[in-house]
Amino acid sequence: MKSEAPYYKASGKEVEVFEHTYKNKIPFLLKGPTGTGKSRFIEFMSHKLDKKLITISCHEETSSTDLIGRYIIKGAETIWVDGPLTIAVKDGAIIYLDEIAEARPDVIVAIHSLTDHRRELFIDKLGETIKAHEDFMLVASFNPGYQRGFKELKPSTRQRFVATTFDYPDAKIEAEILINETDIELDIAKKLVNIATKIRNLTELGLTETVSTRLLVDAAKLIHSGLPKRLSVHVAVVEPLSDDFEVIEALKDLCDLMI
Ligand code: ADP
């Protein structure tokens, strides 16, 4: 039996775009800041299309070996173990490489032949090339981060994907998400969204990343479970944003006025 569908509230035509991209098996890139629903969207789409989803959270140490597979020693034997990418390619799953730009460069090299007409994976340690299952699809996310400290994705890599930008939703949609995720009252949801909108517009604070929907969901959860509203906003929204004492104090004062 199919499990319950994950909740996802669309902001634009992303569902339709993904369905067609999947039909044509073109790799798909989700661009946008953290906490804007990219992972939730992919969970929702793979459920809708009834396809298995394999998610890899890429980080600085993620290598092609982690994705493709490796030999391990078992007792007196050395056996080959497929990595998640190889499994997805063979089984026809959707693989989601979250924050792909964080991974080591050999990961980009490894996915190359999967992102063009060849749709094949070369396993150098086995000297084998495998053709992707017809249901296989590659999805990646990338945080363009207009600030310092974010890794870039080369144009030659980006051009292998169909891409969609994810951003903070409109106020009405964001309040709806908070209510759906946490059962919070409309009035509080609206106040939280107003706080987020206000802080998002304070570009002079120079925050690396601003208030995401994820932070608002966390604040709403704390409020719903009975933590005082102001404290919930301080710990779930303000503190994760900055380590600068003055910025934190200023944001706390602002939030106290708004909730
Ligand atoms: P990202 O992958 O972009 O970092 P997530 O998909 O993990 O972000 O979203 C963080 C949280 O925000 C989710 O767990 C969910 O509670 C909420 N969220 C954000 N956008 C949406 C949306 N459009 N529909 C439903 N929930 C959302």
Crossing angle of helices 245-258 and 186-201, in 10° steps, is 140
Q: Which amino acid is at 240?
A: P
Cα–Cα distance between 78 and 225 in angstroms, integer? 51
3-state secondary structure of 106: helix
Report how far ligand 1's centroid is from the alpha carbon of 72 (Å). 36
Q: Average pLDDT over the chain, rounded to whole?
A: 94
- Interval between CA 170 and ligand 1 midpoint (Å): 14
Side chain identity at residue 38, one-letter code: K
Cβ distance 172 to 130 under 8 Å? Answer: no
pLDDT at 8: 98
pLDDT of residue 225: 97
Query: Mutate which of 212, 213, 216, 222 to test ligand 1's pocket (most atoms within 8 Å of Cβ)?
Result: 213
How far apart CA 259 and CA 254 sit, in angstroms, is 9
- Host H or E run for residue 73: strand 69-74
pLDDT tens-digit readout, 59-118: 999 999 999 999 999 999 999 999 999 999 999 999 999 999 999 999 999 999 999 999
- Residue 30 Cα: closest atom of ligand 1: 3
Q: Which of 71, 95, 70 is nearest to 85 (CA)?
A: 95
**CATH match of 14-165 with 3.40.50.300:** yes
Closest residue by CA, ligand 1 atom 12: 214
Question: Whose alpha carbon is nearest atom 25 of ligand 1?
Answer: 8
Predicted pLDDT of residue 147 = 55
Higher-scoring residue by pLDDT: 150, 3: 3
Question: From ligand 1's centre to the CA of 122, what distance in Å?
Answer: 34
C-beta of 214 in contact with ligand 1 (< 6 A): yes
Q: What CA dihedral angle connects 223, 229, 232 and 233, to 10 degrees?
A: 120
The answer to whether the CB of 166 falls within 8 A of the CB of 36 is yes
Residue with tokens 């009975």: 226
For residue 150, count other CB atoms closer than 10 A to its CB. Answer: 17
Work out the percent of the chain whose per-residue pLDDT is above 70: 98
Any ligand 1 atom below 6 A from CB of 82: no
- Two tokens at 183? 């059962």
What pLDDT shows up at residue 149? 60
pLDDT in tens, 125-178: 999 999 999 999 999 999 987 555 667 888 888 899 999 999 999 999 999 999
Closest of 144, 155, 164, 66 to residue 110, by C-alpha: 66
The residue to mutate among 11, 40, 96, 98, having the most atoms of ligand 1 within 8 angstroms of its beta carbon, is 40
**Residue extents of the structural domains in the chain:** 14-165, 171-258
Confidence band for 205, pLDDT divided at 50, 70 and 90: confident
